[in-house]
Structure 1
Amino acid sequence: MEEAAFQITQFVRRPGTGRDGRNIRVRTNYFVINDIPQMNIIHYDVTITPEVPQRLNRRVFDRFVEQHQGRALGNVRPVFDGRRNMFAPKLLPFGQAGTFDVDLEEDDAAATARRRPPRTFAIKLRRVGQDIVMEELMQFLHARGTLTNNCQMAIMAMDVIIRHKPSSDHITVGRSFFTPQGNRLIYGGAEVWQGYYQSARPTRGQMLINVDLSATAFYEGGPLTQMVVKLLDRRTPNDLYRGMNDRERQRVERSIKNLRIRDNHRAGNRRKFKIEKLTPTQASRTMFDLGDGGQTDVVTYFQRQYNKRLLYPNLPCVIVRKNVYLPIEVCDVIPGQRHMRKLDERQTADMIKFTCQPPNARANKIQAGLEILDFRNNEFLREFGMRISNDMMVVNARVLPIPTIKYHPTSKEHDVRPNGGAWSLKDKKLATGATLGSWSVLAFLNQNELPDQAINPFVREFVNTCQDSGMNIPNRTPPILHANPIGNIEEALKEAWLRAGNTAKAQPQLIVCILPNKGTPLYAEIKRVSDTVIGVATQCVQSRHVQQAKKQYCANVCLKVNVKLGGMNSFLDPAQIPFITDRPTILIGADVTHHGPGEDDKPSIAALCGSMDAKASRYAATIRVQTGRFEIIADLANMVKDLLKTFYQTCGRKPERVLFYRDGVSEGQFKHVLQSEINAVRAACQALEASYRPTITFVVVQKRHHTRFFPLDKRDSDRSGNCLPGTVVETGITHPFEFDFYLQSHAGIQGTSRPTHYHVLFDENGFNADSLQTLSYNLCHIYARCTRTVSLVPPVYYAHLVTTRAKFHTRWHESESSEGGAASAFGVVKQELQKVMYFM
């Protein structure tokens, strides 16, 4: 190594703004903060004892302000983030530190004389060393200073100021607060609530508030029996009379664990509990000690003690504390509890229906949210001298020119300029059609469910479509096999592989698998075996599509099969991607996927996809498993080395330029990730050859944000009411001086499209705004799986697909109970698949 790892001190500055395309204006869900606090803001550290959940913290704090408003606070209204931070517009009378007692009454209106005494909390406030200097934030906004710690604190303080009142008045989750108005019931005893997200964001010369809709699932309040009816898919509570079997009991227990309830069997005094689990026995057989040496069952006890005859003696009881059993029918679910479990398929579908709204409806709802936020009458904003506009911002945008997509020169229509972000395969032949000689069809249904004579028409239509599209299929009648979907999948696939090879007397290339349903386990096992055990491409199709055999469906399948066999579907006119065609250039997309909440013991999966030639249409993938929740790609140097070698083997030249699109990084991690990953890319190059130093550009790609665009003029919208594909915004709402932009590259189908945010952190290739925006947009036209423009650059899209697929290469989903150590079961993709796009 000739040089030490270098230090990055600053990200790339914006190299001017772009000119390409047609100028338009769009509305966006940002509101200008007209008046920013002028005073220095005083920051206090807050400690509340005893420790309680955030929801209660806020109640304690609000009560503290009520009780100590005059003397300790000098009639100032401070704001609180619910955890540790309090901000005030001036120094408070108690000086550097103070400790105060706060009495919190039980919030139970219906409580009786047996009321518990109020709880006492201590709230300790301590002034944090540095005051927040707002002038420094102004310097940053006007590009005269960097984003210092003080600036970040100023932005955080403004965030807390705008959020303080809604957080006290409503249920909050993260940066959103939720209201029960207009909520909608979804399957399984849950309901969706409408929420509003808000966050303070810096841009050139001013501060903005980003306001967006959000939605989350809550448990439906009311009788617990009602929820059990829904969880078990019964019609009425009467159906619960005969009780539930063991599987149903476990299902209910999983769903209601940790739910907060109130009992309803004593006059007046309703206590709150948290459900721990269900009793294994029904109420009539659940025994407990009476304390005088005698025993009784729950049904008898309720009859004697409360003169209450239980309607459902055959249902189990809820256990709320050790040896405290409550019959399900005396429990009411407290409303406003967030649904913490993963939603099932039906619930997710219901949720999507609720949240999917066309742009104009979304814009109107955001505007309506301002009524609820009510910035005008917010006394906390007034206290800090903040004033917020009530009108959505209108910003300049451009619609970039549409590139030309190329197909095989013998096609009737070989050059396409899409209209509205979509086109069809009709009259086009694939740029490079693969040859499919050795293959078989494996149906995971028996002969009665799907006889061969029902499969043959599909195979015919599929073969014809592929050949019309320019693939070469010498073997038009592959052998057809049947297998049990819950039998030994590995054996079935090996058998299909052998039959394919023996029939064609050649190395098998593809197994077409017909699946009975959409379920994941069968699909996952097919992919694990074919990718990591046998090393053969598989194409899964659902039996319902086989029975219909539509041409459009077959065309979509053909696009996937062609690239799985090493073919190329389409490419861009070389003149429209000069950065890639002028000199050997590799595009790399990178992503790290983590497992869901509560699965922290499972490792994360990192994937890279790299282009293999000057057309940037074919990609190779490389995967690693790493420590769970770890954001930086640990083995990046070796992964990049894999891709550079593949590029060299494919086209005989070393890349002179690297364009690295990195997904899955939040702003707080930019510096950290960039520093370590640029050095890893450098190291990979030097490991191949000491003097090899291609120029690198590092771009972070983000889809997880709350920026939305709404066309002002009907002319500038597509038929879903969204902005046209190719809409780019780089001023008004972007970073005060760094090189970032929003690009909406796809045509909306339903709902409001989400633009992709590109942020250039490092650039040795000297991109200007036009060249990077146009290149990124043009690339979105050659995503191999469909004939539409897509919402993010293909290398990143492919890296997503690879990480999703890699989750199936592990054997976790077979034994959910096995603790940790699961990475040893990670299957490596077979060598013969690594250079083709097996993950499509």
Structure 2
Amino acid sequence: MASITEFVKRPGLGRLGRPVRVRANFFEVTALPDANIHHYDIDISPEVPPAMNRKIYKHFEALHSEKDLGKIKPVYDGRKNLYTAKPLPFGESAAFDVTLPEDDGTPSGKRPARAFKVKIKLVNKINMEELHRFLEGKGSISPNILTGIMALDILIRHKPSMEHATFGRSFFTKQGSRPLNGGVEVWQGYYQSARPTPKKMMINVDLSATAFYEGGSLVQMVVKMLNKRSVDDLRRIHDRDRTKLEKSLKNLKVYVTHRGENASKRRLRITKLTNTPASNTKFEVNGQQIDVATYFFNTYNKRLQYPFLPCVVVRKETYLPMEICNVVEGQRYMRKLNERQTADMIKFTCQPPSARANKISQGLQILDYRQNEYMQQFGLKVSTEMAVVQARVLPAPKLQYHPTSRDANFTPRDGSWNLRDKKVATGATLGSWACAVFGNERDYPMAAVQKFIRELVTTCQDTGMNIPNKNPPIQHCNPQGPIETSLRQVWVKAGNLAKSKPQLILCILPNTGVPLYAEIKRVSDTVIGVASQCIQGKHMFAAKKQYCANVCLKMNVKLGGMNSFIDPTQVPFITQRPTILMGADVTHPAPGAENTGRPSIAAVTASMDAKASRYAASIRVQTGRQEVISDLAEMVKELLKTFYQTCGRKPDRILFYRDGVSEGQFSIVLKDEVKAIKEACKSLDEKYKPTITFVIVQKRHHTRFFPMESKDADRTGNCQPGTVVESVITHPFEFDFYLQSHPGLQGTSRPTHYHVLLDENGFNSDSLQTLSYNLCYVFARCTRAVSLVPPVYYAHLVCARARFHASGENWSDPDTSEGAGGVASYAAVKAELLKVMYFM
């Protein structure tokens, strides 16, 4: 029999760990449609955005529901797809004319109504029997099943998306919204998605939140956007503010308030602002020049309150005074939030598990599956109780520090520990270094810098590093630049004083701003080729022991040391035979016009020793938005060579964790990337064929777990670190599991989803789950278990760092930065740094 999946089947359930029960935000589909679902293609022309499509469709349905639709209630995705429970009476296809009545009350009378053509044609009948077979594990996935699941997705979303603002798989309500700073507010949203699970379908329901422009007075919004107290502060608008404002308001929809009901229905898009105030913006009426303020007084007998504000321009050249404009509610704010808005947003979205679970249950009332006439018609029923899932809490591994530590090996409790009485496993030696202070003597006195360095050196030595040179040269540098010149000077000073090649530059920064940090990293990583350690000024003045200890962990690995490792008996997969762990990630430029031409960055990191604690990195820049790593063969080859140079052996086995791939791309990524890994091995030696396990790692999903009893929760109310879930809400038969490996800090923790696509190493559930969990304890820069396996975590960090290596990037605040346009050129990291963990 042909295999049921091209990936790996679940090799039975794991047994290790303490059994617990958790709730998951999944709701069981208790009745699925049995009959075929009819899939129609719907074409609305001329083309308009989904929100408009829905409006047209609503109008069409109201007109034709009796006769042409025979009282059948189709569900619509806002684009091209329509699904029905029974065939529509008109047969294979039909075309309709729909006219949207619209009156915009312009002085010249009515704006012509808009006419649309709606064509509907039957494309497919979805056989639901096949979906049942798949859920039972008796048949493999097929286009028919995927369409069936999509139809269910659209069925549960149809009603809310007709009634609320909808984006992606979430819809948003103004209920309980909160203002963010700057004319923006955050709305509560509900995400829902139909997911196949063992033997049944489930609906995954979660909270989401997104930023919207505040509705109402445009003038008030402008005051908030420019951070002013009142309109009076806008009598003189600076050029910089004007540019910022024009950027923020471009494409915003408004309606006018000075011409009665009908006019206020008409939505107008702002194209730009005038350079002149309303009292001085002139246009021609009957051959006469007249300014906007006078025109409004003459025409509407309305004296402008704020004639000093610029006008907004709509359509081709229509000038409107700001004060007669109101912002249309429910427009999503697409730009990057600034620091303050982000902080407010986090406050809004950050809720302990119990509160989140309650809000999800309230969301079910809004979704109201029971009373949904569309779902009734299809015969779809959904439980209102959250799924209860059997989970296990895996035991924590034993950690090892230097044998001379008082606490040399121990088992952490609750996912975190500290460095008291511990020395790092291998301490690096720091002989040649210097300190660059980005600020002047007055703000950063020599005495304070020296005091901090003393504290840092003492802590590093207590923690097992060796620092023969305790008085590095200190130089004050201008944070405004040129940074490269300053760092070169400091580097030379370090080398001259220690008579050896500098190993590290300690940098003290005046602020948390990105531009200075980015430039320091670009220069040290790609120009000079020296490790750098940045410190915020405020931390330098405080000089706390705990802070110094954390910095020490980062410095040690940047210099090639090793902080800790797992008891070798607890990671047999790594210790029994030479094994390399790899983690890969691709980050894409942020969406938005200013990022066209910016490339994607791919990074692979790989372990370098039998303890899987030290890693090397490889980086490539590739054409934008491409998910498959195009130069993977070369990257893997580089890393295998480094492994060989470090260990003197070629690895027998490769465990490859791959981040950031969505389900739709599993096949292509598996095919292309495993091929590349095999090619890399072959190019080193014709006969070299290590066994490969390829695992996808996902953090971007909406699965959340809630402990059912307080004794199974950690102190933040989240599930305990080590909680693993592999049934009820997972794939019907493939090898995937959720692992919550970290202790909660705030809000509701997000488990990591692991999905095995290829396994030549014969893992069973226990062995892969335990190994993945244990690895989360040796992330080098903190003393707590992290939420994702280190190889992938490091690959993330490498990608993030590489973004700073572009010349011509503009790292200023999101409101003003234009981005450099064009493709920025990325400098390569110096080879000697790639072998140590420079990215920490």
TM-score, length-scaled by structure 1:
0.97
Pairwise CA distance, 1:374: 0.3
Pairwise CA distance, 1:9: 6.9
* Contact residue 272 and residue 312 of structure 2 kept, 8 A: yes
Per the alignment, residue 259 of structure 2 pairs with 266
Pairwise CA distance, 1:118: 3.9
Per the alignment, residue 246 of structure 1 pairs with 239
Question: Pick from 43, 48, 52: which aligns with 1:52?
Answer: 48
Per the alignment, residue 133 of structure 2 pairs with 139
1 CA distance for matches of 2:4 and 2:161? 39
Per the alignment, residue 319 of structure 2 pairs with 325
Per the alignment, residue 283 of structure 1 pairs with 278
1:391 counterpart SS class: strand
Question: Pick from 475, 481, 501: which aligns with 2:475?
Answer: 481
Question: Pick from 704, 707, 712: which aligns with 1:711?
Answer: 707
Q: How does 1:515-594 map to 2 (within 5 A)?
A: 515-594=509-588
Per the alignment, residue 191 of structure 1 pairs with 185
Per the alignment, residue 446 of structure 1 pairs with 440
CA distance 1:313–1:99, shift in 2 (3 Å): same
1 CA distance for matches of 2:716 and 2:110? 57
* Contact residue 77 and residue 380 of structure 1 kept, 8 A: yes
Q: What letter corresponds to residue 170 of structure 2 in structure 1?
A: S
Q: Does 1:797 align with 2:793?
A: yes
2 CA distance for matches of 1:107 and 1:299? 26
Q: What letter corresponds to residue 618 of structure 1 in structure 2?
A: R
Pairwise CA distance, 1:702: 0.1
Per the alignment, residue 787 of structure 1 pairs with 783
1 CA distance for matches of 2:215 and 2:62? 30
* Contact residue 812 and residue 822 of structure 1 kept, 8 A: no
2 CA distance for matches of 1:165 and 1:728? 35
* Contact residue 809 and residue 820 of structure 2 kept, 8 A: no
1 CA distance for matches of 2:217 and 2:819? 36
Q: What letter corresponds to residue 465 of structure 1 in structure 2?
A: T
1 CA distance for matches of 2:642 and 2:821? 34
1:643 counterpart SS class: helix
* Contact residue 8 and residue 675 of structure 1 kept, 8 A: no
Pairwise CA distance, 1:116: 4.0
TM-score, length-scaled by structure 2:
0.97
1:491 counterpart SS class: helix
Q: Does 1:212 align with 2:213?
A: no
Per the alignment, residue 640 of structure 1 pairs with 636
Q: How does 1:223-234 map to 2 (within 5 A)?
A: 223-234=217-228
Q: What letter corresponds to residue 24 of structure 2 in structure 1?
A: T
Q: Deviations over 1:266-291 (max 9, x none)?
A: 3443342101111122222222222x
2 CA distance for matches of 1:18 and 1:446? 60
* Contact residue 701 and residue 757 of structure 1 kept, 8 A: yes
Per the alignment, residue 744 of structure 1 pairs with 740
Pairwise CA distance, 1:767: 0.3
Q: How does 1:253-402 map to 2 (within 5 A)?
A: 253-268=246-261, 269-270=263-264, 271-290=266-285, 292-402=286-396
Q: Does 1:415 align with 2:409?
A: yes
* Contact residue 703 and residue 755 of structure 1 kept, 8 A: yes
Q: Deviations over 1:635-694 (max 9, x none)?
A: 000000000000000010000000000001000000000000000000000000000000
Pairwise CA distance, 1:196: 0.1
2:16 counterpart SS class: coil
Per the alignment, residue 814 of structure 2 pairs with none
* Contact residue 604 and residue 629 of structure 1 kept, 8 A: yes
Q: What letter corresponds to residue 834 of structure 2 in structure 1?
A: Q
2 CA distance for matches of 1:212 and 1:746? 21
Q: What letter corresponds to residue 703 of structure 1 in structure 2?
A: K
2:299 counterpart SS class: helix
CA distance 1:199–1:812, shift in 2 (3 Å): farther
1:580 counterpart SS class: helix
2:488 counterpart SS class: helix
Q: Does 1:838 align with 2:806?
A: no
Instruction: Select between 298-307 and 678-687 the one with higher mean Cα deviation.
Output: 298-307
Per the alignment, residue 3 of structure 1 pairs with none
Per the alignment, residue 663 of structure 1 pairs with 659
Question: Pick from 60, 66, 74: which aligns with 1:70?
Answer: 66
2 CA distance for matches of 1:277 and 1:503? 59
* Contact residue 437 and residue 475 of structure 1 kept, 8 A: yes
* Contact residue 103 and residue 113 of structure 2 kept, 8 A: no
CA distance 1:576–1:107, shift in 2 (3 Å): farther
Q: How does 1:484-523 map to 2 (within 5 A)?
A: 484-523=478-517
* Contact residue 103 and residue 110 of structure 2 kept, 8 A: no
Pairwise CA distance, 1:548: 0.5
2:370 counterpart SS class: helix
2 CA distance for matches of 1:301 and 1:113? 16
Q: Deviations over 1:330-380 (max 9, x none)?
A: 111111110011111111111011000000000000000000000000000
1:166 counterpart SS class: helix
Q: What letter corresponds to residue 374 of structure 2 in structure 1?
A: F
2:574 counterpart SS class: helix
**Identical-pair percentage:** 63
2 CA distance for matches of 1:310 and 1:610? 67
Question: Pick from 705, 726, 748: which aligns with 1:730?
Answer: 726
* Contact residue 808 and residue 820 of structure 2 kept, 8 A: no
Number of residue pairs matched? 829
2 CA distance for matches of 1:262 and 1:338? 17
Instruction: Select between 336-345 and 353-362 the one with higher mean Cα deviation.
Output: 336-345
Q: What letter corresponds to residue 640 of structure 1 in structure 2?
A: V
Per the alignment, residue 4 of structure 1 pairs with none
Per the alignment, residue 618 of structure 1 pairs with 614
2:385 counterpart SS class: coil
2 CA distance for matches of 1:131 and 1:265? 52
Q: Deviations over 1:233-277 (max 9, x none)?
A: 11122322x231111111111111110001122344334210111
CA distance 1:761–1:8, shift in 2 (3 Å): farther
Instruction: Select between 35-44 and 61-70 the one with higher mean Cα deviation.
Output: 61-70
Pairwise CA distance, 1:105: 2.8
Q: Does 1:427 align with 2:421?
A: yes
CA distance 1:700–1:566, shift in 2 (3 Å): same
1 CA distance for matches of 2:145 and 2:4? 20
2 CA distance for matches of 1:832 and 1:814? 28
Question: Pick from 761, 764, 778: which aligns with 2:760?
Answer: 764
1:93 counterpart SS class: coil
Q: Deviations over 1:87-136 (max 9, x none)?
A: 0111111000001122323398x9999554543322100100x3100000
2 CA distance for matches of 1:66 and 1:314? 47
2:203 counterpart SS class: strand
Question: Pick from 390, 394, 405: which aligns with 2:399?
Answer: 405
1:814 counterpart SS class: coil
Q: What letter corresponds to residue 442 of structure 1 in structure 2?
A: A
2 CA distance for matches of 1:777 and 1:416? 16
* Contact residue 400 and residue 409 of structure 2 kept, 8 A: yes
Unaligned residue ranges in structure 1 (runs of 5+): 1-6
2 CA distance for matches of 1:431 and 1:802? 24
1:131 counterpart SS class: strand
Q: Does 1:456 align with 2:450?
A: yes
Q: What letter corresponds to residue 822 of structure 1 in structure 2?
A: V
Q: Deviations over 1:143-194 (max 9, x none)?
A: 1000011110110000011010000011101000000000000000000000
Per the alignment, residue 121 of structure 1 pairs with 116
Q: Does 1:235 align with 2:244?
A: no
* Contact residue 288 and residue 323 of structure 1 kept, 8 A: no
* Contact residue 358 and residue 751 of structure 1 kept, 8 A: yes
Q: Deviations over 1:534-570 (max 9, x none)?
A: 0000000000000000001000000000000000000
Unaligned residue ranges in structure 2 (runs of 5+): 812-816
Pairwise CA distance, 1:205: 0.3
